[in-house]
A and B are shown apart, each in its own frame.
Chain A
Amino acid sequence: MTVSPTIRALRDSLLLLFWGALVLWIAAEGQLSIYLHPSLQPFTITAGVLLLLLALFGFRGMFRRSSSPSECNHSCDHDHGDHVLDGHGDRESSNQATVPHHTSSHHDKIDAYLAKKRMEDADDRRVKRDHHPVHDHGDNPLPLIPLLIKTLLLLIPLMMIMTGRGTGFTITTVQNRGIIGNINNLPAAKPRSGSLPIYQNVQNSQVTSSSSFVAKDQGLGPSVQQGGTGSSTRTSGPMPAEIIDLLYAVQMPSYREDFEGKQIELVGQFVPLTTGNPRGDRFQAIRMFITCCAADAKPVGVTVQYPKPVGVSEMGWIKITGIPKFPMEGGRRTAILEASKVEECPAPNEPFVY
């Protein structure tokens, strides 16, 4: 059983249309940030548009071919690499290709192989042409089963997207990848310039525009109001911070000074601490750090000390208020957030840190 070139062209165009539409749909819903680093999102959106464009070209080719099936209108969408030729000068063009333009035996061998293949293909096509004198200027009919399998494979991602999209990794992947608690193991992370100007500014009730992402990422609600000029003003309450900030503070004394004794607020995902927790009053707050896409995400985490039950499921989003400490434990400095309040919160718009 075979599939006609027209059906294959229709299948190709529809696949491109579905892929392009779904990519743009995800982008339109603002969901790309769940999967990709911001620097890659424009490429994916552009690809979505290009897929639609290719689909349109495909439909145009089908339309033109169907409107003049017996003519060579030169606008068909065939792959010149494997279509049924009409025999115009097959042998001549093949013979031209047999003339080696390199004197080396290496290139002669390649050229001879290419020429041989071309001669065989031309002969094959000539036989086909004799049996099918009216060609459709498309591709050879293709076996049905392989084409069906390929089509199904290409539909799998679409079905996955349609049936439900992920919002984050489960504890399984976090455990398999291991939680990073040392900023030296995170070379892609960039330190904030200066000695935490954000926190100095916070003390003056002013958050600069360079740090406004903290407020945006964490969705801090009424205590942070976005300003019209890209700056935001904080009137009261604990300082917003990221888990990565605390990891930097472990390594950099100047950062530590900015934190010590001050109440902060950070958002992360709850991970129970099963080892090194004899009193059972500690857990970890993590964020996924990505350099490229969610597939390369690495969990970064900080230990939180909180004597009460948290009451949140594994990997649930929590907002923690507390005071960071940087004691020496096990012979090395570490960050521990002594929490006074832990509450469940919605996932931030951008679940990753970069």
Chain B
Amino acid sequence: MFLSTVTFQFSPPDFQYAFLSILLEGMPFLLGGAILSGLLEEFLPQNLMTRFLPANPRSAVMISGLLGVVFPVCECGIVPVVRRLMRKGLPVSCGITYMLAAPIVNPLVILSTLAAFRGQAAWEMAILRFVLGLSVAVLAGWVVSYLKPEDILRDGVLIFSASEHEHHESGQRSLIDRLQNAAGVATRDFLDVAVFFVVGAGAASLFSTSVNQELILPLASNPPLAIASLMGLATVLSVCSTTDAFIAATLTTFPMAAKLAFLVFGPMLDFKLIFLYSAAFSKRFILALGIGLFLIIGLLCWRLATLNLGW
């Protein structure tokens, strides 16, 4: 009975339509991240970030997780920014923490979660999303701090940055020339990451239009399966973190813990992001990150589901 509802119907016009809409929606944010990356490269002094971070690596990772509150970047634009910050000397563990946390802890996402869940324990959901998202990102950062950067990063990501190169001293150049350089960096970063974004948008469009989303409904009554299935759905749909709460709130048959898993896992790892991360990280690391996030978020949400919080 269940298997009979598992369908995969591919419609090329629907795929094209969804694909272009994801591109048109995500492209401004990707471009914004790339432009920010260009400006950081040109105007942010080498290693300035690390001077403001605490010497204690664990504290540094925690602070990086909270950077997203004051320095919000959505998940589409975060990869070029993090890649650039790491080139500028930000420790990889801090970069990954910021990358995972920023799409969740940013104020717009908190507000949209509150709005979407009004009448459905909105404050509890918004607070738990913030705390769980931040905690998982910090945990990931701590784990990464024990790994070698060359095991994590894609080849060439940390190639020498010549900002301190003597003939590039900012005092010797006009503002327009510095903007020219920033534009060059932004262009390169945008096109580098856009390739992965196009592939990710294609994968997300294929699954969001071709897979029968109602097939997961029978799983709603079993908490572990409900949690796992909604994390899977978040990966498939690849919805922006500022609006994913509106999708999650519609899944009324699912337990709140499963919706929380959807809201925390989706902004950290979906189809689109898997490909975007490939612009900065090794395939092995992305695979390990995906499995780790799936397990830790799944287990934490399952634990929350058993606490009977009155949702």
Contact = CB atoms under 8 A, between A and B. Distances in A.
A46 interface: yes
Contact of A296 (B35, B198, B237): B237
Interface string A182-198: 00111110000000000
A86 to B, nearest CB: 8
B183 to A, nearest CB: 4
Interface stretch (A154-162, A268-276, A336-344): A154-162
Contacts of B93: 106, 110
Measured as residues with beta carbon below 8 angstroms from the partner, the interface class of chain B is 35 or more
A107 B64 CA distance: 14
A350 interface: no
B180 A77 contact: yes
A301 interface: no
A345 interface: no
Contacts of A156: 198
Interface in B11-46: 11, 13-14, 16-25, 27-29, 31-32, 35, 41, 46
Contacts of A53: 183
Among A58, A93, A160, A187, the one with the most B-chain Cβ atoms within 10 Å of its Cβ is A187
A166 B57 contact: no
Interface stretch (B223-231, B245-253, B288-296, B298-306): B245-253
B209 A160 contact: no
B9 interface: yes
Given A23-B24, A61-B180, A80-B161, A107 B57 contact: yes
A23 B21 CA distance: 11
Interface stretch (B65-73, B99-107, B112-120, B131-139): B112-120
Interface of A: 12-13, 15-16, 19, 23, 26, 32, 35-36, 40, 43-44, 46-47, 50-51, 53-54, 57-58, 60-61, 72-83, 85-86, 88-89, 93-94, 96-97, 101-104, 106-107, 109-111, 113-114, 117-118, 121-122, 125, 150, 153-154, 156-157, 160-161, 164-166, 168-170, 172-173, 175-178, 180, 184-188, 291-296, 298
Interface of B: 7, 9-11, 13-14, 16-25, 27-29, 31-32, 35, 41, 46-47, 50-51, 55-57, 60, 87, 89, 91-93, 115-120, 145, 148-150, 156, 158-168, 172-173, 176-177, 179-181, 183-191, 194-195, 198-199, 204-205, 208-214, 237-240, 242-243, 246-247, 249-250, 252
17 contacts: A16-B190, A47-B27, A50-B35, A58-B183, A77-B181, A78-B184, A79-B189, A81-B162, A83-B162, A93-B165, A114-B158, A117-B158, A154-B191, A176-B211, A178-B214, A187-B249, A293-B21
8 smallest CB-CB distances across A and B, nearest first, come from: A77-B184, A166-B17, A106-B57, A57-B183, A47-B28, A294-B21, A172-B11, A293-B25
